């Protein structure tokens, strides 16, 4: 009997052991390797065991590096701008299309197509559309009598922001529409009976009930925006100058072009810490929302 109880206790751990082993090998080991490498004076010609331990020198050097500061601020501006615009447009489209419209399935399919395109292809398409000589936008400007604009030269950050918004707004749209369609119809019917107009229903009923999904969606998209690389690499390569060089691109250049693997690892750890803060914020909000739901449910049971 004791042997059977022991086997029953160990069975769940045996089932999760392969997944845990894969996580250790594919996630924790590389992260640990990167963290250890950030404390070393490391270049690609050396094995990590051959490098000199320099402590926090790589981190201190980055804090005094104007190029790192510039890339950090470009990353913040890019991430918060695109996510803010995508949330407004995506939620707005979801509210607009949350109704019975002929051909709605076709419209929804068209809206999610940009998200299904490879980022490299998106970068190439928008690079040619923004081309100063034969790009689509400048041809349109010339057709209406306006002078052409050197989009990627004079407005590079705005150009990559527009491309990212075009590609990832469908992500916000899909999740927002799913949240809308899962709302309790009883609350909406009660609001209509009380005389609430369409805007009042949106502001006081729909958006508050959607808020848990919207906050998690915002945090997920924000985390992803900090890691974007391919579209900017293809469109501008981080230039002109450092105007569109986000941290992910700076890390790649530091490791590949400058051959400073220790500094690249330290920069990666700075980005990792930032993303971990965002992730912890998402988890904290989820726990708070669950606790709030339990309190409201308990209060409703007591009143009944």
Give pLDDT, residue 263.
Answer: 92
- Residue 250 — very low, low, confident or very high, per pLDDT cuts 50/70/90? very high
Q: What is the pLDDT of residues 190-200, one digit of tens each?
A: 778 877 777 88
Q: Has residue 300 been placed in a domain?
A: no
Q: With a cut of 80, say whether residue 101 has pLDDT above it.
A: no
pTM, entire model: 0.86
Query: Regarding predicted confidence, which is higher, 98 or 239?
Result: 239
Structural domain contains residue 32: no
At 40, which helix (H) or strand (E)? strand 40-41
**pLDDT tens digits for range 217-246:** 988 899 899 988 889 999 998 888 889 999
Cβ contact 165:85 at 8 Å: yes
Beta bridge partners of 40: 53
DSSP assignment of 202-260 equals IIIIIHHHHHHHHHHHHHHHHHHHTT--HHHHHHTTT-STTTT--HHHHHHHHHHTS--
Q: Which residues pair with 52 in a beta bridge?
A: 41
Above 70 in pLDDT, residue 202? yes
**Within-domain flag for 98:** yes
For residue range 55-79, list pLDDT tens digits in order.
Answer: 899 999 999 999 999 999 999 999 9
Residue 297 lies inside a defined structural domain of this protein: no
Contact predicate 263/62, CB 8 Å: yes
Tally of structural domains, the chain: 1
Across 216-240, b (16+ Cβ under 10 Å) vs e yields: bbbbbbbbebbebbebbbbbbebee
Query: Is position 285 within any domain?
Result: no
pLDDT of residue 132: 85
Q: How confident is the model at residue 1 (pLDDT cuts 50, 70, 90)?
A: low
Q: How many CB atoms lie within 10 A of CB 284?
A: 10
Q: What is the CATH number of the domain that holds 199?
A: 1.10.3720.10
Give domain status of residue 278, yes or no.
no
**Mean pLDDT of the region 114-126:** 90
Domain that holds residue 213: 81-246
Confidence of residue 7 (pLDDT cuts 50, 70, 90): low
Quote the pLDDT of residue 81.
95
On whether residue 283 sits in a domain, the answer given is no
Distance from the Cα of residue 121 to its chain's centroid = 19
Are 229 and 248 in contact, with CB atoms under 8 Å apart?
yes
Predicted local distance difference test score (pLDDT) of residue 4? 66
Give domain status of residue 107, yes or no.
yes
More confident residue, 114 or 205: 114
pLDDT score for 23: 80
Query: Residue 182 above 90 pLDDT?
Result: no
């Amino acid at each position: 009997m004791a042997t059977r109880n022991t086997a029953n206790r160990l069975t769940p751990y045996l089932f999760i052991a392969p997944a845990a082993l894969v996580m250790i090998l594919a996630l924790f080991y590389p992260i640990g390797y990167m963290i250890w490498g950030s404390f070393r004076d490391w270049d690609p010609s050396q094995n990590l065991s051959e490098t000199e331990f320099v402590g926090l020198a790589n981190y201190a050097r980055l804090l005094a590096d104007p190029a790192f500061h510039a890339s950090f601020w470009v990353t913040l501006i890019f991430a918060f701008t695109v996510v803010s615009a995508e949330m407004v447009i995506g939620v707005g489209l979801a509210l607009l299309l949350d109704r019975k419209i002929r051909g709605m399935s076709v419209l929804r399919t068209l809206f999610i197509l940009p998200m299904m395109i490879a980022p490299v292809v998106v970068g190439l398409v928008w690079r040619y559309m923004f081309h100063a000589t034969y790009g689509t936008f400048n041809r349109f400007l010339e057709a209406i009598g306006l002078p052409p604009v050197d989009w990627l030269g004079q407005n590079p950050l705005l150009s990559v922001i527009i491309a990212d918004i075009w590609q990832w707004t469908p992500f916000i749209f899909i999740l927002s529409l799913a949240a809308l369609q899962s709302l309790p119809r009883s609350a909406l019917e009660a609001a209509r009976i009380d005389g609430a107009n369409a805007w009042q229903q949106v502001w006081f009923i729909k958006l508050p009930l959607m808020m848990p999904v919207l906050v998690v969606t915002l945090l997920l998209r924000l985390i992803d925006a900090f890691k974007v690389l391919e579209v900017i690499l293809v469109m501008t390569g981080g230039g002109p100058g450092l105007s569109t060089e986000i941290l992910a691109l700076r890390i790649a250049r530091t490791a590949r072009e400058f051959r400073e693997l220790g500094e690249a690892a330290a920069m990666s750890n700075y980005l990792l810490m930032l993303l971990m803060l965002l992730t912890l914020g998402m988890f904290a909000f989820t726990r708070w929302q669950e606790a709030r739901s339990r309190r409201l449910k308990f209060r409703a049971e007591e009143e009944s």
